[in-house]
Amino acid sequence: MSTRNVRKDKTNGPGKSVLQKNVRIRDVAGVAGVSTATVSRALSNPELLTEATRDSVFAAIRATGYRVNKAARTLRTRQAGAILVLVPNLGNPFFSQILAGINQRLGENDMSVLIADTQNLVTAGEFLVDHFLNSQIDGVICLDGSLPDSELEQFRTNGVADKIVFACEWVHSAGLPSVRSDNIEGARLAVRHLYELGHRKIAHVTGPGDNVLTHARRQGMLEERARLELPVRDEWIVRGDFSLESGRSAALKILDLAERPTAVFCASDQVAFGLMSTLEARGLNVPEDMSVVGFDDIELSDFYVPALTTIRQDRRALGTKAASLLLECIDPKTTARADRLKPVVVGVDLVVRESTAPPTEVPAGSPE
């Protein structure tokens, strides 16, 4: 008997491979010994299946090399399977861990991540609405708190505002869900740390004037100053913009003061690096001549010389929590909750390194 026409692509279990080029869901079902509906359920709602059934289906998927047809899924579910993330400056290393957290959480739900730098967008509002209306995205995570009200109004007018979540930064007037660090407490921790070292002349380099993080961190700094009854001098609060250059500029202004502070709390690590490098270039030693505290704890903080004392934000948690919140917002099976607009606040920590030390001059009222 000739065997030339006998097919050799049949399988009797999940341990063998289906050799067809176009594997379909029914092939997976046949290998796993379940119905096609069960395979679909494993892909869309795996929590509804028993662990044994899930394991069997996913073993069959691996054995067959099955890939989800995203185009077909889009037509069936009317979802694009993609989320857009708006970043105010992709060149800033601060955002790397937030993006990693977003990608991790969305990847667990088989969703793609698109990224756009708002610095390169003429109008973010039109850009987002076009992506929504053209079925290219299902939702947006916005890391930029500087979007004007006119653009936010476009979201409401086009009915997509309920699919937008702010992360890290936010817009007060937007009335949209947000995930943020405890910036006020972080500033309090920074000032308290310097006070406990013995510093009383503490300067602050802010972020940009119209930024929500600037206001929150300045608020915490002023509240802790008042609680500790520290002196307040206008010239000890220097305007910055979260950049290295603004740290350099702030250092030059501080060096020109008739009465210099003994410590500086910077609103970002980037500002702190710019400030410290300029102080060192002008002959001052950190922390012997001036202590410096940053905010963010980006990767370079631990490698800079001297290593930077800073406020650590759990940036990966900001990303994963924002992604989880957005998935909840865009899930058609999830009903809107009144508490969804309440900000999700992620805690912060003080990380003490080598850029802070007691002042060389003993403050009045302090023990010798």
pLDDT digits (tens, 9 = 90+) for 309-352: 999 999 999 999 999 999 988 886 766 666 777 899 999 999 99
Specify whether 195 is located in the same domain as 133. no
- Residues 209, 270: one domain? yes
Regarding predicted confidence, which is higher, 88 or 224? 224
**One domain, residues 116 and 170:** yes
pLDDT classification of 41: cutoffs 50, 70, 90: confident
Omega before residue 148 within 30° of 0, cis: no
Among the ranges given (157-161, 244-248, 275-279), the one the predictor scored with the smallest mean pLDDT:
157-161
Pair of tokens at residue 130: 């076009």
- Regarding whether 203 and 294 lie in a shared domain, the answer is yes
Say if residue 50 is in the same domain as residue 143.
no
Q: Is residue 216 part of a domain?
A: yes
What pLDDT score does 21 carry? 54
CA distance 240 to 253: 11
For 361, half-sphere exposure in the C-beta direction (CA atoms, 13 angstrom radius) is: 12
In percent, how much of the chain has pLDDT > 90? 52
What mean pLDDT comes out for the span 297-303? Answer: 96
pLDDT band at 13 (very low <50, low <70, confident <90, very high): very low
Q: Say whether pLDDT at 158 is over 80.
A: no
- Asked if the structure places residue 74 within a domain, the reply is no
Q: What is the CATH number of the domain that holds 198?
A: 3.40.50.2300
Output the pLDDT for position 305.
96
For all residues of the chain together, what is the average pLDDT? 84
* 304 and 157 inside one domain: no
| pTM, two decimal places | 0.75
Residue 100 lies in a domain: yes
Number of compact structural domains in the chain: 3
**pLDDT exceeds 70 at position 355:** yes
Distance CA 220, CA 213 (A): 11
Q: Write the single-letter amino acid at 311.
A: I
Rounded CA separation 312/146 (Å): 23
pLDDT at 306 over 80: yes
Host domain of residue 31: 25-68
Tell me if 86 sits within 8 A of 141, measured CB to CB: yes
The whole-number pLDDT of residue 5 equals 37
Asked whether residue 115 falls in the same domain as residue 193, the answer is no
**Per the domain annotation, does 211 fall within a domain?**
yes
Q: Distance between CA 54 and CA 34 in Å, rounded?
A: 10
The two structure tokens encoding residue 365: 């009222």
Say if 36 falls within a structural domain.
yes
Q: Note whether residue 129 is domain-resident.
A: yes
Task: Tell me, yes or no, whether 1 lies in a domain.
Answer: no
